[in-house]
Amino acid sequence: MRVAGERWGPLGYLGASDVKRFLPERGRPEEGVVRWLRPALTRSLFGDAVIVLFLFVQAVDGMCTYVGVSTFGMHLEANPLLHVLIATFGLGTAVTSAKIFAAILGMSLHRLGVHGILAGLTCLYLLAALLPWAGILLMY
């Protein structure tokens, strides 16, 4: 019968000395998934530049989306999820929440240290979101 406060492991009750076997030693690098999820402790100039550029592109895309949709109508928005959010919550709330969510995800990627993926997403946003809006807004 289990009593509150007892430690149970895969093979039964664990005493205080048995628990130490399952804890990682100090200074020993973790193995497996934990090692890959642990953020890098060193700073990266490339990573810092990429996250700043990513957040800037997100902000400019949000402004272009707001101006474009409010000026020309909702039919110009190509993102179906954002289209539904705009119809449900309104333009300002939908665009702001979508951009804040994208910024949080971008900062999570930066914190995990996957700066190459973040740089690729930044380039994708520049080509697929920002340039079309800039072309539409500059034409009129």
Query: Is the Cβ–Cβ distance between 69 and 91 less than 8 Å?
Result: yes
Query: Is the Cβ–Cβ distance between 64 and 137 less than 8 Å?
Result: yes
88-116 per-position pLDDT tens digit: 999 999 999 999 999 999 999 998 889 99
Domain definitions of the chain by residue range: 7-36, 43-139
A 10 A CB-CB count for 102 gives 18
56-74 per-position pLDDT tens digit: 999 999 999 999 999 999 9
In the chain, % of residues over pLDDT 70: 70
Query: Is the Cβ–Cβ distance between 81 and 72 less than 8 Å?
Result: no
How many angstroms from the chain centroid is the CA of residue 73? 29
